């Protein structure tokens, strides 16, 4: 039961990954890609880590640390990339 749930969470994470990464190949603007990428990458990775946590609860400090750093860093990185690339988008 727990095993099935953890596999389910990981597969949900994979679906998120593909859903967010596939728009990267198109010719959309940087900000559009950044939005779909940061949302889906963070959510997908977090659901994957939750799946791993259910699989091996013994390593919880490590996985919780990964969860927190993922949430914080990816959000900050999204902001920094958007801020840095914004001036370029002006003249498009």
Partner 1 sequence: MNGIIIAMLLALLIPIYEAYRDSHIWQKMLAFASIATKTSMMILVVSVLRDDWMIGVVGVLILSVGNAALMLLAHVIKRSDEAGVYEP
- Kindly list the residues in this chain that would bind partner 1 in the complex (CB under 8 A): 7, 10-11, 14, 17-18, 21-22, 24-25, 30, 33-34, 37, 41, 45, 48-49, 52, 55-56, 59, 62-63, 65-66, 69-70, 73-74, 76-77, 80-81, 84-85, 87-88
Residue closer to partner 1 by CB (options 5, 22) is 22
Q: What are phi and psi of 56, to 5 degrees?
A: -125, 85
Q: How near is the Cβ of 57 to partner 1 at its closest, in Å?
A: 11
Q: How near is the Cβ of 17 to partner 1 at its closest, in Å?
A: 5
Count Cα atoms within 13 angstroms, Cβ side, for 66: 15
Q: CB neighbours of 66 closer than 8 A, spacing ≥ 6?
A: 49
What is the 8-class DSSP label of residue 91? T
């Amino acid at each position: 039961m727990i095993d099935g749930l953890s596999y389910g969470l990981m597969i949900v994470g994979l679906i998120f990954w593909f859903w967010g990464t596939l728009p990267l190949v198109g010719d959309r603007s940087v900000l559009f890609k950044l939005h779909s990428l940061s949302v889906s990458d963070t959510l997908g990775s977090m659901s994957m880590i939750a799946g791993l946590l259910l699989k091996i609860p013994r390593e919880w400090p490590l996985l919780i640390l990964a969860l927190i750093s993922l949430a914080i860093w990816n959000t900050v990185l999204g902001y920094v990339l958007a801020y840095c690339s914004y001036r370029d988008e002006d003249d498009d």
